[in-house]
Amino acid sequence: MSDPKPRPELWTRAALVVAMLRRLLRACAPDAFASISAQARALLAAATAMVRRYIHALAADILLPPVLPPRTGDHPSREERESRSANDYLFPLAELPGGRASQNCPPEPPELQWAILWEAAARLAAVMANPAPHALRLARFQRRLGPAPLRDMPVRWHVIRRLGPIMDALLTRLDQAARPWAWEGLDTS
């Protein structure tokens, strides 16, 4: 099995966006979050898409050993399998079609919104600090079940419009690295 080769040309850009999000949240008091909430949510969506695509690009470079039939005594116990729950992972590596938010829910207080975004930014920073285990998990998933789905558009158009052309270019570059088969034959010049 090979470890993923770091891709600094991709990592640096994704890490800068995560750092930008954390700086934005750190500079704002939780009770004054309402004034920057739309910008922070847009930046979180872009940062999450970038980190996810970076992990996909790393997973494509991993060579896994051939699958051997399991030996009879090597199965993990039920307790070990249950202890490794979905909560052990920092974020999902597949993008599923998003649902619409309910219009009947009252808005969350700005302090709670800030705390949720702060925690999400911290998770993204932790993934960027050590992406290899996540890439290995994705490579194993892809060998077992096929490619993990990624949306054609990493972030919705109104989010891209809010963030500007630089973020659009970064997302496009990371999407090209994560899904090269989707970009084959396209003129991107």
Task: Give the start-end residues of each E strand in the chain.
Answer: none
Evaluate whether residue 103 is within a structural domain: no
- Contact between residue 24 and residue 39 where contact means Cβ atoms under 8 Å apart: yes
φ/ψ bin of 151: left (φ > 0), alpha (ψ from -120 to 50), beta (otherwise): beta
Reading the block at residue 179, the tokens are 């899904």
67-104 per-position pLDDT tens digit: 766 666 555 555 555 555 544 566 777 776 665 555 66
Closest Cα to residue 178, out of 50, 44, 6, 48?
50
Cβ count near 164 (within 10 Å):
9
Residue 3 lies in a domain: no
Residue-wise pLDDT tens digits, 7-48: 888 889 899 999 999 999 999 888 888 888 889 999 999 999
User: Mean pLDDT, the chain, as a whole number?
Assistant: 81
Question: What is the C-alpha separation between 151 and 30, in angstroms, rounded?
Answer: 32
Residue 46's nearest CA partner among 150, 130, 180, 154 is 154
Task: Decide if 101 is inside a domain.
Answer: no
Q: Per the domain annotation, does 145 fall within a domain?
A: yes
**The predicted structure's pLDDT at residue 86:** 47
**Residue range of the domain that includes 162:** 8-65+90-95+109-183
For the cut 80, the answer to whether the pLDDT of residue 57 exceeds it is yes
Q: At what angle do helices 37-60 and 8-27 cross, to 10 degrees?
A: 160
- Domain-located, residue 126: yes
pLDDT the model gives residue 95: 79
Residue 41 lies in a domain: yes
In a domain, 168, yes or no: yes
**Is the CB of residue 119 less than 8 Å from the CB of residue 30?**
no
Number of domains in the chain: 1
